[in-house]
Structure 1
């Protein structure tokens, strides 16, 4: 079971007022009109390739009685959203904050009879994100979200009685089923991590399951001492979530997915972080039915570096490695390489490297191509641009392709290739 989000993640909502209100806690009737004291609502989110967005709001109004869906229109309610940083940024710049009205695109009833307000959202669209990026710290943080719901017109129950809701109270919980499927943990050394465990038919089959280790990018690490959330690792992109999708779970025949969160950035001290990641892997293996011969490591950017570093420190631990836009040279330029050529040529773990040639953050030729040329037997997929569903992303975001199982070689896609690898 997933651990509930921290208090800083979501704040209680402001309340929206409506005409014809009753006293708090009292249901009043006047001219066959029902006014109710208040309704709780939940923000529903989805992780797009460009990060998590609030995509709808559920008003828990089923308790009022059977609602006539024909009485609900996109003008029945309005939604205002305000998102602010959870930590002070007076001497810094944060991207992603907003204070605006969200567009209601549809209104419907869910299977419980609650009212769902679908909100306009899309890749690159501002005003719906759950994360902010603090430039000076190079970190994503969970924004404090305050939503205000206002009812503009009554709706009716199936008995034709009109209803106006007096006030709306926001739940502290942000509902995102994909993220919520990952439980929250802390290792003995204090490193936080999220864990997905295979469910349904996969978990009921006999035998041990593979383990996929997802190592996040630099933006998803901690900003100690004041921010270490165990959330952004899953919400910033679909890297870890991709491996928990039904498609991936079928390919891997049910796999555990673990996503450790660095206490800073992997590249700041890879040799120190390696045993801490290894400790988490050990915890997961001991506590679950994990196949020791099918442990895979995948990472992007900072995590792309760390996935290669792990295979140099633990050459016999992993069945396969998928470094995405990783760094092996000096970063920033001018210093010693993060992974020397003498270590790259000794990597024996089957490796498939991925990058986009228009990556302006990490030079793909000096890092991905260079590593591929030195890692024995490695595969490489190089894209010209990062484009998915007709939206072009930053060239650095080539992890989107791996999260969608797009890279292929001789007709075999990267997830199928990984699943076929076993430690020898």
Structure 2
């Protein structure tokens, strides 16, 4: 295996420093203030339906003393963001000012700068898409803060920060809740472990396996294999780790393996590697073997179905989203022939959108639904969330939000009710 690229979500500490400022009306810092004018800051990120964005910045200012919030405005600091790709191909890179929409103190007394962010908004993303590779990559983020007005403490002293130092770690609590692992065969994966007491009388927890899309695999020709984009590119895996999902499943492990390429490139080879990881998780945790579920989008939608053909008795339910069964690209043999689809015995609920221009929903999702015995299907007209219309291929957004329903039963509740027989 090629040596992975050495990269950081954020540049090493010491980058993003702004020079000391000389502000009108601000006296020189007292000798006992000198150690307090160097402040670290952390980029806080959130995974939106369309991918992860930096949504706020926390300045480590509590140690400066009690800050008077009345003296903080959106003009106190300005923020500049520069993002570069670890692969030397332009991939959503940017170099621009971020808009500060609000300033507040958190419970610790640290200053938090809220940043403008929204679906489809450029300049805040943590990922870039390298079209020539068909892959998302983590961008190297370099933020520069500039102070334009002094910080007033409650004792009426004023503080001017001489140096801002960027924390090398990105704070994204939902992502950080997943631990990082590598299987014996070298495949990377992330794992969410539930909290609290199991609801099952036998004490076993369900296990949900999320298989990512093609854009979240590795790019080994570049030595890039991050175990990050599987969680940051969309809410596919994260959705199952939310409090809502955890209540529905009674506390579930959520497993997100990362392919070394794309699942569709060699599904038969990847199937046993995924099975190996599932077996490792079962051995290391109290898993209810009758409640193992598989779901995935696009490439992962294909792989979800492929797993149920290779291991027909392993899963209690399967949720393939905008998956592929025909040849891709067109002209070759089908990825999953009808003879295999017809033998799938795992309860399956397929999801896609009719306006998907990446994977033909009729030739793939609708066709698979017609062939897989007893399968369910939800076909949307468009992919719209909170008023924002996404590309039709992004129907995984609905599964990540427990939106699909049939006769009043939503997809997570349906999954949770399935047990292997």
**TM bucket by the smaller chain?**
over 0.9
Q: CA deviation at 1:17?
A: 2.1
**Residue equivalent to 1:281:** 278
**Residue equivalent to 1:296:** 293
Contact 1:35-1:164 within 8 A present in 2 as well: no
Q: CA deviation at 1:412?
A: 0.2
Q: CA deviation at 1:9?
A: 2.1
**Residue equivalent to 1:362:** 359
Contact 1:239-1:400 within 8 A present in 2 as well: yes
1:100 is aligned to 2:96: yes
Secondary structure (helix, strand or coil) at the match of 1:165 reads coil
Counterparts of 2:61 and 2:394, CA distance in 1: 40
1:322 is aligned to 2:303: no
**Residue equivalent to 2:21:** 19
Counterparts of 1:96 and 1:370, CA distance in 2: 35
**Deviation per residue, 1:273-296 (Å, 9 max, x gap):** 000000000000000010000000
**Residue equivalent to 2:212:** 216
TM-score for both structures, normalised by structure 1: 0.94
Contact 1:8-1:86 within 8 A present in 2 as well: no
Contact 2:29-2:159 within 8 A present in 1 as well: no
Match of 2:114 among 118, 123, 134: 118
How many pairs were matched up? 410
**Deviation per residue, 1:203-258 (Å, 9 max, x gap):** 89971100000000000000004100000000000000000000000000000000
TM-score for both structures, normalised by structure 2: 0.95
Counterparts of 1:53 and 1:103, CA distance in 2: 13
Counterparts of 1:39 and 1:131, CA distance in 2: 26
**Residue equivalent to 2:349:** 352
Secondary structure (helix, strand or coil) at the match of 1:127 reads coil
**Residue equivalent to 1:70:** 70
Q: How does 1:182-331 map to 2 (within 5 A)?
A: 182-202=178-198, 207-225=203-221, 226-331=223-328
Secondary structure (helix, strand or coil) at the match of 2:281 reads helix
Q: CA deviation at 1:193?
A: 0.1
Q: CA deviation at 1:87?
A: 1.9
- Please list every run of 5 or more consecutive structure 2 residues that lacks an aligned counterpart in the other structure: none
Contact 1:34-1:164 within 8 A present in 2 as well: no
**Residue equivalent to 2:154:** 158
Match of 2:329 among 332, 341, 349: 332
Counterparts of 1:165 and 1:301, CA distance in 2: 48
Counterparts of 1:217 and 1:302, CA distance in 2: 5
**Residue equivalent to 1:28:** 29
Contact 1:33-1:162 within 8 A present in 2 as well: no
Q: CA deviation at 1:19?
A: 2.2
Secondary structure (helix, strand or coil) at the match of 1:9 reads coil
Counterparts of 2:200 and 2:247, CA distance in 1: 13
**Residue equivalent to 1:387:** 384
Secondary structure (helix, strand or coil) at the match of 1:349 reads coil
CA RMSD, aligned part only? 1.8
**Residue equivalent to 1:81:** 81
Counterparts of 1:55 and 1:223, CA distance in 2: 28
- Please list every run of 5 or more consecutive structure 1 residues that lacks an aligned counterpart in the other structure: 22-26
Secondary structure (helix, strand or coil) at the match of 1:299 reads strand
Q: CA deviation at 1:155?
A: 1.3
**Residue equivalent to 1:43:** 43
Counterparts of 1:281 and 1:409, CA distance in 2: 29
**Deviation per residue, 1:106-134 (Å, 9 max, x gap):** 00011111110000000000000000000
Secondary structure (helix, strand or coil) at the match of 1:315 reads coil
Counterparts of 2:73 and 2:199, CA distance in 1: 43
